Amino acid sequence: MKRFRDFFLFCSGAHVPMLKRAPSETNKYGGIGATIFFTGLLAAFSGGYALWTVFSSPWGAIVFGLIWGLMIFNLDRYIVSGMKKRKNFWSEFGMALPRLILAILIAIVISKPLELKVFEKEINQELIVMEQQVFKTQEDKVKDRFQQRINVLNTEIAQLNAAIQLQASKLDTLQIIAQQEADGTGGSRRQNLGPIYKAKKADADTAAAMLKRITDQNGALIAQKRQELASIDSTQKATVGGLNRTSIDGLASRLDALGHLTDRSVPVRWANWFIILLFITIETAPVFVKLISPRGPYDDLLEAHEHAYIIFRKETIEKREREHNKRMMIGQPAVNS
């Protein structure tokens, strides 16, 4: 237990030999050091998981996690050790405010990868939906590239078919007129196969010949255009099949998925905020403890030590100035009266 206590005292950034002269302060600084240590440990897990998400390299994640955790640990230790208890609370608060802001930023950075781990299952489901949306967008862009030509070909085919139908309708009308002239139900109202019938029959035969010619010509063009449509469809399917179907699983995509979840779900949004607030509380706890705790014996000893050093430095500087002035006086030549 003594080793753990000494280690946590080291983590607090306090001067351990001087702190041992104030035993009543060891619990406070031991708690501060433990908080700093576990914050660095959480930062190591967070940084390692973030690198694992990006590169999927276990050794890289371990090395980066250790470096990141040590960096956060050292930064927190410096933040707390740099705070000194004075007699004016507002002066202390003004000195602590930049440290609090820095601690909040560190907490937000640490919390994000761990939030991704907490909501991992929900994020994986959201990533599937996002992948489908991306693939659909890619397919729509491919289809839009060919759609204009497809529309033109379909319009031309419709026009060619309409021309055939129009000529077929004319033929049907002329055949009915010729038939009615033959049986006496129309035209001259006389049943005969005379000259009038023959003229109308000739018009129907001419229309039939025209229909055959139009059908042959337009049928060939329609077949050609349908063949082009089939080729476009084949090319389009090949292009869609060749699209990059790489799964979306990067750090940015997971952050985006988490953003979608928090936008849609109020419970997820609150849970996300509670996790952030938890890390902010953990990260700022040592600063607040140092800020709100009353001035203790360790602070008096530290101030006395600093004051003694200031006096010693001042005396050293004055001594050097006196020695310098003395050497200058000795080296100055005498003036004859």
Q: Where are the alpha helices (DSSP H) in the chain?
A: 2-11, 16-19, 26-55, 58-81, 89-118, 120-183, 195-241, 251-264, 266-292, 297-331
Higher-pLDDT residue of 40 and 283 is 40
Distance CA 42, CA 109 (A): 11
Give whole-number Cα distances, 253 to 160, 244, 264, 267, in Å: 51, 16, 17, 21
pLDDT value of residue 58? 83
pTM of the predicted model, to two decimals? Answer: 0.54
Distance CA 229, CA 155 (A): 12
Distance CA 30, CA 14 (A): 9
- What is the tens place of the pLDDT at every residue in 243-270? 777 677 777 788 888 888 888 888 888 8
Inform me whether the pLDDT recorded for 87 exceeds 70: no
Higher-pLDDT residue of 319 and 82 is 319
Do residues 282 and 107 touch, judged by C-beta distance below 8 A?
A: yes
Distance CA 295, CA 28 (A): 12
Section 291-314 average pLDDT: 74
Inform me whether the pLDDT recorded for 154 exceeds 80: yes
pLDDT band of residue 336 (cuts 50, 70, 90) is very low
Inform me whether the pLDDT recorded for 61 exceeds 70: yes
Do residues 304 and 143 touch, judged by C-beta distance below 8 A?
A: no
The alpha carbon dihedral of 133, 138, 143, 144 has a sign of: positive
Task: Record the tokens describing residue 292, joined without a space.
Answer: 């709100």
- Percent of the chain scoring above 90 in pLDDT: 0
What are the contacts of 165-168 at 24+ separation with CB within 8 A? 167/207, 167/210, 167/211, 167/214, 167/215, 168/211
